[in-house]
Structure 1
Amino acid sequence: MSAEIWTGVRERVLALAESPGVEKVFGFPYGGTPLEDPLTEEELADLERYCGVRLPDEYRDFLLHVGAGGAGPTYGVFPVRRDADGAWQWHGDGGDMTLPKRLAEPFRQHVNPEELDALLADQPDEEAYEDIDDYDTANDAWEERLFATLWSDDHTVGAICLCHLGCAQRQWLVVSGPERGRMWDDARCDYVDLEPLGVTFAQWYLNWLTEAEKTAGTVSPSETR
């Protein structure tokens, strides 16, 4: 059971937040509590009904036993919250890129590398235009093609945007399809396709926590027993 993975993890994060060396750690949200309260079983069931999909075990058990979001890799894990109207959404810089009603659709790589390379090579050259308005028109049309190729919502169905790294780079958890339960990096701001990180959600989070404890010079509660 993945629930065992998270035994003592909430306590470790909270202890880390109180340690003198926490200022050296990257991954704690500014202000507020280090971790949001975990979801209840009823809240998790409602979230999954709303999204129409059972979340990967490692992540759903994290929501139940660690928190609905908060401290974690990069700038922290985007919290998932239920709005007053009953709708669920992930909150953070890019959290609204997650489409809860399309999480049951299988995630898949969409961008053809050759098509993307050809598109990037076709970017208008400002020096080739005598009239700046003509250049702006051509470049706007090119940017529309680029957006459709890289940033279509179809590229990230079946995945949850869970954190950001700054400068419009983000990371996603796949919840449907062959890559279910695994993390993907999103550096489309650099005109590249999404790429697998090669780790599951638990590996991604726990690797961060272990390194954070080393950075802060703390010993986890589990190591003192």
Structure 2
Amino acid sequence: MRERLDGIIAKLAAVRERGLKCFGSAAHCFELRPPAAEAEVAAFEAARRVRLPEDYRAFLLHAGHGGAGPFYGLMTLAACDDARYEALDDLDAECPLHPDTLPPGDGWLEALLPGEEEAMDRALRGTLSLGSQGCSYYTQLVLTGPARGQVVYIDLDGGRPYFPESAGFLDWYERWLDELLAGCKIHWFGTGMPGFESELADALRRGERLADALAAMRRLPQIGEGTLDRVIARLDHPDARIRERALQVLGDFDGDAGARARPFLRDPEPGPRRAALDCVCKGDAARWAADARAMLEDADGSIAAAALSALDDAKVMTLADLLPRLGDARQGVAADAGRRLAAMAGRGVSPADAPVFAAAATAMLDHAEPRVAMHGLQVLAHVDAPELPEFLARLRAFALGEEPSHRLNACRALVRQDRAAGFDALAELTRHADPFVRQDAARTLGELGDARVRPALERLLEDETKPFERTATGSRTNIYRVCDTARMALEAIARRGEA
């Protein structure tokens, strides 16, 4: 054990010497804290009525007590007390989590602990926090039960736990260092099948865990010709998931991926078609733009959106590509096209194209999906529409309506079409019952306004509300009070006047 720990410390030093980085490494700079004393670890164990797994215990005593580690690094034992689920003081209770018995799907928690209150806290009994992965995600070490010693990734918001394929803490930790030193892409470390090119290529040769091996291959910095040949040999596999992942690997490593992948644009399943599109749409757009435009008609909306994205990224997307998609019934296509049309309008519209943009945006206001109408309003903030009283009245109705995504976008569109009407609508929103709306209106007046809007902002200088609300996923708030935002808006208007 001590020899292995010395090797891990040497690998950490090599990572530092090579100046490597990964997600979260700025928090620890690949430096371990000094090791813990035996008395400190023993006191923790006695207070929590547990014995730490031997490999983790040895790491604390001989390598380091917190610091360098996957994601944002390793916590100290004391830091575990800051995590809400440790407050139950149940590290000695049997952990109900095990990779072989974890129920599948989003309903895993109710299936695992039916009818229990605070079920997520109950599910984490017998686990110790190793570190944070950011947001609601943590790395836990199982201390009790059949999975004792294993690492598990958890989501405090209820996502299904994930057990990395490692025998214990040291295997998990050393895999992180080995992948870093090998130049692997480390985005969400520990997920997927472990191994490097030789092991993964051997799995392809044996026909074992093909989808997993192909997916894991994508984290490698490169693969050899022999391995690439084995990937190509799986392109005709009857399982669409295998074809899709083989195409993804080709896209990463094969210089001739476009030519090999083009026939799969007609694959009967959407997964391989999408992967083939990603392979084809590389390099000079003149070679693949026609393929991408053909895929705009694909039955799967996500593939049509991917084709639009490829054309847009290559700066060859045209109005003719976008306009037919604005009323598209495929899920998400109209909203995606609308977003791209709004971005195109924001970059500038020629006088010749302005009527086309205005007509398209006006039609988008009738779309049943709020996001499409929102993007139509964003377009109308950049182009002039016909000066019709009923049209301005409609924009005002969007501005003062109940759909949050419409309000400020409609106000900006109104300012473009009729400056006074737009500022009037914003001034009315400064009286809205929702402090978030009042604050947004004040901020927008500061960005767009002139001295004539000062009275609306001055009314808010006594509004000391700090917006706050609870949502289904937590809460949202603002560091500023409404009056603070109003004051900053008035200052912005004053600076504009002085300029």
TM-score range, shorter chain: 0.5 to 0.7
Q: Which has the higher contact order (CA 8 A, sep 6+)?
A: 1
Q: Which runs of 5+ in 2 are unaligned?
A: 185-499
**Preserved contact between residue 35 and residue 71 of structure 1 (Cα < 8 Å):** yes
- Which residue is 2:35 aligned to? 38
- Which residue is 2:9 aligned to? 10
Establish whether residue 103 from structure 1 lines up as the match of residue 91 from structure 2: yes
- Which residue is 2:130 aligned to? 162
1: distance between equivalents of 2:8 and 2:105? 44
> Given the alignment, which residue of 66, 74, 79 partners 1:77?
74
**Preserved contact between residue 50 and residue 100 of structure 1 (Cα < 8 Å):** no
2: distance between equivalents of 1:65 and 1:118? 37
> Given the alignment, which residue of 51, 65, 71 partners 2:48?
51
- Which residue is 2:107 aligned to? 116
SS of the residue corresponding to residue 164 of structure 1 reads: strand
- Which residue is 2:160 aligned to? 193
TM-score, normalised on structure 2?
0.31
Larger helix percent: 2
**Preserved contact between residue 97 and residue 161 of structure 1 (Cα < 8 Å):** no
TM-score, normalised on structure 1?
0.65
SS of the residue corresponding to residue 31 of structure 2 reads: coil
Aligned partner letter, 1:160 = L
Shift of 1:147: 10
Shift of 1:78: 1.5
2: distance between equivalents of 1:115 and 1:215? 34
2: distance between equivalents of 1:51 and 1:70? 22
SS of the residue corresponding to residue 185 of structure 1 reads: strand
Shifted more, 107-116 versus 62-71: the winner is 107-116
Q: What does the per-residue CA deviation read over 1:67-87, in whole Å, with 9 as the maximum and x for residues that have no partner?
A: 111111122112223xxxxxx
**Preserved contact between residue 108 and residue 160 of structure 2 (Cα < 8 Å):** no
Q: Which runs of 5+ in 1 are unaligned?
A: 82-88, 120-145, 217-225
SS of the residue corresponding to residue 163 of structure 2 reads: strand
**Preserved contact between residue 69 and residue 79 of structure 1 (Cα < 8 Å):** yes
**Preserved contact between residue 28 and residue 70 of structure 1 (Cα < 8 Å):** no
> Given the alignment, which residue of 159, 167, 179 partners 1:211?
179
1: distance between equivalents of 2:6 and 2:109? 49
Shift of 1:35: 1.1
What does 1:110-149 correspond to in 2, within 5 Å?
A: 116=107, 148=117
2: distance between equivalents of 1:173 and 1:15? 26
Q: 1:68 to 1:115 in 2, by over 3 A?
A: closer
2: distance between equivalents of 1:55 and 1:117? 27
- Which residue is 2:80 aligned to? 90
Q: What does the per-residue CA deviation read over 1:90-109, in whole Å, with 9 as the maximum and x for residues that have no partner?
A: 27xx7443348311111003
**Preserved contact between residue 30 and residue 69 of structure 2 (Cα < 8 Å):** no
**Preserved contact between residue 71 and residue 77 of structure 1 (Cα < 8 Å):** yes
Shift of 1:188: 4.8
